[in-house]
Amino acid sequence: MKRHAQAVVIGGGVVGVSVLYHLTKAGWKDVLLIERAELTSGSTWHAAGGMHTVNGDPNVAKLQQYTINLYEEIERISGQSCGVHITGGIMLAGTQERLDWLKMAQARGRYLGMDLEMISVDEAARLFPLMDKQHFTGAMYDPIEGHVDPYGVTHAYAKAAEIAGAEVVRRTRVTELKARADGSWDVITEHGSVHAEHVVNAGGLWAREVGRMVGLELPILAMQHQYILTDDIAQLAGRPEQLHCIDFEGEIYLRQERGGMLMGTYERAGAPWSEHTTPWDFGQDLLPNDLERIAPSLEIGFEHFPALGSVGIRKVINGPFTFAPDGNPLIGPIKGLRNFWVACGVMAGFSQGGGVGLTLAHWMVDGDPGADIWGMDVARYGGWATLAYTNAKVRENYSRRFRIRFPNEELEAARPLRTTPVYDRLAAQNAVFGEYCALEHALWFAPPGVAAKESITFRRSNAHEHVAAECRNVRTAVGLLEISTYGKFEIDGPGAAEWLDYLMANRVPAVGRIGLTPMLNERGKLIGDFTMCRLSENHVFLIGTYAAENYYMRWFERHLPATGVRVRPCATEYVGLSVAGPQARALLQGLVHEDLSNTAFPFLSFKRIDVGMIPALLGRVSFTGDLGYEIWVTGDYQRALYDLLFAAGRAHGIRLVGARALNSMRLEKSFGTWAREYRPIYSPYEASLARFVDLSKGDFIGRSAAVGDKGRVGGVRLVAFSVAAADADASGDEPIWHDGKVVGAVTSGGFGHSAQTSIALGYVPAELAQAAGSFEVEIIGVRRAARRLDAAAFDPQGLRMRS
Ligand SMILES: Cc1cc2nc3c(=O)[nH]c(=O)nc-3n(C[C@H](O)[C@H](O)[C@H](O)COP(=O)(O)OP(=O)(O)OC[C@H]3O[C@@H](n4cnc5c(N)ncnc54)[C@H](O)[C@@H]3O)c2cc1C
């Protein structure tokens, strides 16, 4: 084993070898993989090897496409077969809702260039004769599905990496990791130590343990997963290999294995494995079978596919593999640790391993993943994702693997966990709660006599009319909203303003003012959008997206000077309430001594002000697009503030307003949000944020790229549409058609209650951003006429928020 390497990858499962291969491909040849036993000695060796392109997140779907296409390349380089069988696959629907879901998946696939096809039950039965037609209503066909040989794939990656110069060391466990002052690592193993500039944790089943070596508790949990292999089935003899099949109602998957079938299930009562610590002596082992646990699914399987029930079970496999709470991988660098990277929680290694390796290698070598991997970024989880939280969410996610997630559906596991002081007050007012970063927040309020429960649906729900009433209240009187779910940072010190000016694309505002700004990476792409509130010369209160707190902190730390600037995340220390609507000023003026007139406290003002007896930070800004104020207080004051505003607001017609109404109002104002409209694949010019980029202010990160991007022809543009929807609005990822061709995808959508139209925001090619011709947005399989909006659907001049 070499004693020094540019990077050490810990773990020789399918993910570790892919990272190793991609590092060599990206130009790092002095790389070493250390495996505790033989390659594949974690979950990899007993995997069913299935692979598919469909994924709920289009960006993850793209990486799955990449992975599948990669097998030919590593086979060619290594000479090792990956045992690729592209059989094609069908997804069977047994209900109308599932059919709708499939139509939506097919529509999403259109934008990604996937060739998915809706087919009838008869057609499905012709392609997959084992099914009993009476249980199904329709199906979708995907030509790019199949399976690989897990052993072959892992060794092909490893050999291809070795050919490029990498070293693979087996039967050597990493036991300790020690950070050096210069950011490099001493990797201590059973057989001596290696000095590494970078370390990658690809420990799979042991990723938690490897994380703990550096004080990190990763939110991952292994679940036991079982599949059966049947005896030979006479019906299959002499026929071409059967398609892969997912039976959503049965919650099972099937594929052919030799002369029989492989059938697996993600059962509802799934069982975790090694909840706290994974034993080091577990290797190429299986867990004891527990057929009883999956018996309900097997019974349905035998009913839906009778031939499987007519033969014996040849073998049962029960093996563990790891999941993050949302089922997506955890990849990237870790805030607070230098040169330490993770690539773990990969539950679909044979669909995703290639994409994970590619993006992580780019990130390490180029400083940027080169793709939009927000959905897989380890930074999306904060300290709230404890082991027990992860346990509850992973079990839920596992049990729902084949269930539909409706756009308005809130999942129940691990709730309520985090609440703000006004939670009980809101609950007493019939709030229907949602969860965001484990924090409860009100979605809408059921009027007296109406059940505080939302029906889950692809269409407009029972909340529609109540949300409409909340929006009306904001537009005609005043609404009271809790706004605690934003991320907040205090930035202070003598160098604070100068540092922020270099970090952000817009100028830091004057003392007492608010400035909106994108944050760009070196490539000029959007990695954040913030509200900068200047409290004093040396103190800025920064508001952004809470889910991205660690993502931002990672970036801030990377660019923080040794002295002179302090950055402190304070999201839950400051909770907030907002009042918005034409009566907001009159309401608030009655509670503060300072003059709140438009001249004294105009739009985008910010100040420390006492509201009644409550010390607060007051900003004149509102995401509703109306006259409004955001009031930030520490948690101990929030209930008093709520009571004060609510009592004083009665005379002004106050009403509680939730997140659904806020979403409706921001859509009709064409206001984008992080992780939907604003993502690291778009420039601010593409995202219609040009007015917030100040190229005249001097240098800032991403400036030279932004100079090139400004006025650049081509690329995409964010556009708003008024959609002639019927009873369902766009919710995200629906294709946008123009003159009969798919040209883009929706980033978010919903009904604009004040503008009285269904609205969709989405990206289209720049040359179409001003185009005539007919646009359509495809919603649940139906193409709905869409009119491009030149300005916001509501108050296009923005007069109300400035009034
Ligand atoms: C029954 C079953 C069926 C499955 N079916 C499919 C499927 O059809 N399709 C699909 O895509 N996925 C499937 N999976 C999931 C798939 O197996 C995983 O996604 C994949 O194996 C994850 O690979 P990994 O490299 O992250 O982890 P692992 O395979 O667990 O690899 C981690 C490696 O790191 C090594 N290691 C850990 N700690 C150390 C250390 N300190 N020092 C040195 N080495 C260390 C381990 O020995 C191990 O070899 C299935 C899983 C199971 C259990």
215-242, pLDDT tens digit by residue? 999 999 999 999 999 999 999 999 999 9
Angle between helices 58-78 and 349-366 (to 10 degrees): 90
Q: Quote the pLDDT of residue 295.
A: 93
> In this structure, how many other beta carbons lie within 10 angstroms of the beta carbon of residue 382?
21
Atom of ligand 1 nearest to the CA of 34: 43
Cα(167) to centroid of ligand 1, in Å? 20
Q: Which two tokens stand for residue 161?
A: 């990496």
Atom of ligand 1 nearest to the CA of 38: 49
| C-alpha span between 766 and 541 (Å, rounded) | 35
Say if CB 445 and CB 646 are below 8 A apart: no
pLDDT tens across 766-792, in order? Answer: 999 988 779 999 999 899 999 999 999
Mutate to test the pocket of ligand 1, among 40, 55, 151, 321 (most ligand atoms within 8 A of CB): 321
Say if CB 754 and CB 473 are below 8 A apart: no
Cα(226) to centroid of ligand 1, in Å? 15
Q: Is the dihedral of CA 592, 595, 599, 605 positive or negative?
A: negative
In 3D space, the residue among 520, 505, 502 whose CA is nearest the CA of residue 691 turns out to be 505
pLDDT tens across 490-525, in order? Answer: 999 999 999 999 999 999 999 999 999 999 999 999
Atom of ligand 1 nearest to the CA of 225: 1
Atom of ligand 1 nearest to the CA of 321: 53
Q: Which two tokens stand for residue 436?
A: 């965001």
Atom of ligand 1 nearest to the CA of 352: 11
Percent of the chain residues past pLDDT 70, beyond the cut: 100
Can you state the percent helix, strand and coil of the chain, rounding each to 5?
30, 30, 40
Cα(738) to centroid of ligand 1, in Å? 43
| C-alpha span between 472 and 751 (Å, rounded) | 13
Cα(18) to centroid of ligand 1, in Å? 12
Length of the chain: 803
Average predicted confidence (pLDDT) for the chain: 96
Please classify residue 538 by burial: count the beta carbons closer than 10 Å to its beta carbon, then call 0-12 exposed, 13-18 middle and 19+ buried.
middle
Q: Quote the pLDDT of residue 59.
A: 83
Q: Quote the pLDDT of residue 35.
A: 98
Cα(21) to centroid of ligand 1, in Å? 17
Cα(51) to centroid of ligand 1, in Å? 15
User: In 3-state terms, what secondary structure has residue 428?
Assistant: helix
As a whole number, mean pLDDT of residues 546-574 equals: 96
* Closest C-alpha residue for ligand 1 atom 37: 203
Residues 6+ away with beta carbon under 8 Å from 798: 625, 792
User: In 3-state terms, what secondary structure has residue 782?
Assistant: strand
Q: Quote the pLDDT of residue 482.
A: 98
Cα(40) to centroid of ligand 1, in Å? 7
Q: Is the dihedral of CA 200, 205, 210, 212 positive or negative?
A: positive
**Picking from 25-29, 51-55, 246-250, 526-530, which range would have the lowest pLDDT averaged per residue?**
51-55
Say if CB 747 and CB 676 are below 8 A apart: yes
Cα(741) to centroid of ligand 1, in Å? 41
Cα(202) to centroid of ligand 1, in Å? 9
Cα(277) to centroid of ligand 1, in Å? 16
User: In 3-state terms, what secondary structure has residue 458?
Assistant: coil
* pLDDT over 90 (residue 687): yes
As a whole number, mean pLDDT of residues 686-710 equals: 96
* Closest C-alpha residue for ligand 1 atom 22: 349
Residues 6+ away with beta carbon under 8 Å from 383: none
Atom of ligand 1 nearest to the CA of 351: 11
Instruction: Give, for 188, the enclosing helix (H) or strand (E).
Output: strand 185-189
Say if CB 198 and CB 19 are below 8 A apart: no
pLDDT tens across 73-109, in order? Answer: 999 999 999 999 999 999 999 999 999 999 989 988 8
Cα(166) to centroid of ligand 1, in Å? 21
Atom of ligand 1 nearest to the CA of 175: 41
Cα(438) to centroid of ligand 1, in Å? 28
* Closest C-alpha residue for ligand 1 atom 52: 47
Q: Quote the pLDDT of residue 613.
A: 98
Q: Quote the pLDDT of residue 135.
A: 97
Residue type, 706: A
Atom of ligand 1 nearest to the CA of 39: 49
Residues with CB under 6 A from ligand 1: 10-16, 34-37, 41-44, 46-51, 173-174, 202-206, 210, 225, 227, 317, 319-321, 344, 346-351
Question: Could you identify the residue written with the tokens 């009644």?
Answer: 612
- pTM given for the model: 0.96
Q: Quote the pLDDT of residue 320.
A: 96
Atom of ligand 1 nearest to the CA of 204: 27
Q: Quote the pLDDT of residue 783.
A: 96
Mutate to test the pocket of ligand 1, among 17, 19, 43 (most ligand atoms within 8 A of CB): 43
Backbone angles phi, psi at 156, to 5 degrees: -65, -45
Q: Quote the pLDDT of residue 713.
A: 86
Atom of ligand 1 nearest to the CA of 345: 26
* pLDDT over 80 (residue 25): yes
Residue type, 224: Q
Atom of ligand 1 nearest to the CA of 15: 25
pLDDT tens across 653-673, in order? Answer: 999 999 999 999 999 999 999
Long-range contacts, 770-776 (Cβ 8 Å, 24+):
771/738, 773/738, 773/739, 774/738, 774/739, 775/721, 775/736, 775/737, 775/738, 776/736, 776/737, 776/738
Q: For residue 364, what pLDDT band results from cuts at 50, 70 and 90? A: very high
* Closest C-alpha residue for ligand 1 atom 18: 349
pLDDT tens across 586-611, in order? Answer: 999 999 999 999 999 999 999 999 99
Residues 6+ away with beta carbon under 8 Å from 220: 207, 208, 322, 323, 324, 330, 344, 345, 390, 394
Q: For residue 55, what pLDDT band results from cuts at 50, 70 and 90? A: confident
* Closest C-alpha residue for ligand 1 atom 10: 348
Cα(320) to centroid of ligand 1, in Å? 8
Cα(206) to centroid of ligand 1, in Å? 9
pLDDT tens across 145-177, in order? Answer: 999 999 999 999 999 999 999 999 999 999 999
CA distances from 562 to 367, 503, 537, 707, 786 (A): 21, 15, 20, 29, 52
Residue type, 105: A
